[in-house]
Chains A and B, each alone.
Chain A
Amino acid sequence: QVHLQESGPTVVKPSETLSLTCSVSGGPMNRDYWNWVRQSPGKGLEWIGRVYWTGRTNFNPSLKNRVSLSIDRSASQFSLRLNAVTSADTAVYYCVRDRGCSATTCSGMDVWGQGTTVAVSS
């Protein structure tokens, strides 16, 4: 049973960089997509981006210029960096696994971390 756990600061100052790490336990990080999804207070889910096990990345176009993702399979972790944060980046941040698609169907985001709340405040 794969388990994901987010870690990082709970408060980040405006204009600084938000850095979060997701630790993966219970299984390897091979052949899967590792995502970040966030949820602003009282709002819906927003996909931030994903990193494939090979290191290839995809990003939400609205955040692309400020986001970087990385993966360290040897440490069973993947990470998010979001630059130049503002109050609009205050949210619960989730790390999420997506197993991708087979020839017939796609798996969806099947494992979610519990989420970590990050507030942007001076």
Chain B
Amino acid sequence: DQQVKQNSPSLSVQEGRISILNCDYTNSMFDYFLWYKKYPAEGPTFLISISSIKDKNEDGRFTVFLNKSAKHLSLHIVPSQPGDSAVYFCAAVDSSYKLIFGSGTRLLVRP
């Protein structure tokens, strides 16, 4: 059973609009979460993270929100740009410091 779930396999948004990628987790012991971005034929690269003691972390156009009671986090990209088109993976760090990834969401930003 997957502990980190990304239920939307794909998302398409217009350039300049907001992209919202969602992630749910099942283990309430997770205390650190990350988003990774992956372009074709490349390895995933770190984008932004959030600790469970916070409910929001912002870095430029990227903001991650954490709702611990709902076991839900989301990544907001605003404004979205065509170069943001990629697969986005949500990940959680467990008690043994392993990163457990979701299945990814493919974002397409249309010009």
Same complex for A and B? Answer no
